[in-house]
Amino acid sequence: MSEQKHLVDVRGLKEYFPVKSGMMNRIMLKAVDDVSFTIDEGETLGLVGESGCGKTTVGRTLLHLYKPTAGEVYFDGRQVTGKNIGEFRKDMQIVFQDPYSSLNPRMTVSDIIGEPLDIHKLYSTKKERADRISELLTLVGLNSEHATRYAHEFSGGQRQRIGIARALAVNPRFIVCDEPVSALDVSIQAQIINTFEDLQQKLGIAYLFIAHDLLVVQHMSKRIAVMYLGRIVEIGPAKDIIGSPIHPYTESLISAIPMPDPETARNKHRIILEGDVPSPLHMPKGCPFRTRCRYATKECEEKRPELKEVAPERFVACHHR
C-alpha cells in the first residue's frame, strides 16, 4: 500500500544553538529536539506549549529561516534543503508574531506588500502590480487607499492584516502563523482569527498555527500538537486533545483553560504543576517532564519516552499512558 503524501512532512527536526559557558566552553541549547509531524492540504495544525518550549523555532527552522541541525522537511513530496529552499519560497510563507517590528517603517504599505511581487517577478506592468496590491488589501479587510500610507499610521490589528497580505502576495499553499494574535488586544484577536479562517476557506491554504492560547488553537485547528522543552509530547485531533488529554502535561494545560460558566469553573479540577521548567541547557535525563510529573517513576528517570500511537490518530510520549 502506498504511503499517503502530505503537503508538509517534518521528520526528526532538530535545531541546536551553541551557547557560551564560561571562557572557552560551549554547550548546545536544544531548542527543537527530534520533532515530527505532518500537515495536509488545507489543514490547520495547532502547535501549543509554554513560552520558550521551541514553538517559534520549529516554524522558522521548517522554513529554513534557521538552518536545521538535523532532520528532514518535505513539501508536497519534495525534500526542502538549504540549496533548493528558493524554489519553495512562493509556496511556504510566514506571518510573524509582532506586527510592529515585522514591517519596515520606511516603506509604504504598497512597497511592503509589493516586495514579494518584485522578488518573484509576478507582474508584467506597474498597473498589474498596483491592481494586485489593491486586491490583496481588500482580501484582508483593508482598502486600496491604505496603499500609500506607512505602517506606523495603522493600529496593531491593521498592521497584522498588512503582514497577512504580504504573505499572501505570492499565492502560498502553506503559511506558518507564528503567534499572530498574541500581541493584539483581545477585541482584535477574534477579527484576525476570522480573517485567517475566511482566507483558508477561499484559498485552501494550510496553516501551522503556533500559539500559547489553547482556546485560540482549539478554534482554529483540526489537529493539535503539544510541545514541552523542544519535543512534541502529544498530538491528535483538536476535540480529543481538549476533551480527553492523555499526557500529564497536556492535562495540566487543559485544566488551566478559563471557563465562561461560573458553575463549571467551580467544579473544575485545576492541575497545578510542581517545580520549575528545567533549563534547556541542562535537560534532565530520561523524560524531560519527569521533574514536574506526579506519575514519574524510575523508568522515567532512565529512559526518554518516544512518541507512540495509543489510539487512532492519537500519539503520546509517556511511559504510563
What is the per-residue pLDDT across 106-131, written as a single tens digit (0 to 9) for each? 999 999 999 999 999 999 999 999 99
**What's the CATH number of domain 1-40+51-83+212-259+305-321, 3.40.50.300, 1.10.357.10, 1.10.10.10, 3.30.460.10?**
3.40.50.300
- 1 pLDDT band, cuts 50/70/90, is very low
Over the chain, what is the mean pLDDT?
92
Burial of 26 (0-12, 13-18, 19+ CB in 10 A): exposed
Burial of 224 (0-12, 13-18, 19+ CB in 10 A): buried
Mean pLDDT of 6-21: 93
- 318 pLDDT band, cuts 50/70/90, is very high
pLDDT, greater one: 261 or 69: 69
Query: Can you give the pLDDT at residue 2?
Result: 40
* Domain residue ranges in the chain: 1-40+51-83+212-259+305-321
Q: Are 183 and 213 in contact (CB under 8 A)?
A: no
> What pTM does this model have?
0.92
pLDDT, greater one: 93 or 272: 93
pLDDT digits (tens, 9 = 90+) for 129-151: 999 999 999 999 999 999 999 99
pLDDT digits (tens, 9 = 90+) for 22-39: 777 888 899 999 999 999
Identity of the residue numbered 89: R
Mean pLDDT of 166-189: 94
Between strands 44-48 and 223-228, the pairing is parallel
pLDDT digits (tens, 9 = 90+) for 42-76: 999 999 998 889 999 999 999 999 999 999 999 99
Q: Are 210 and 285 in contact (CB under 8 A)?
A: no
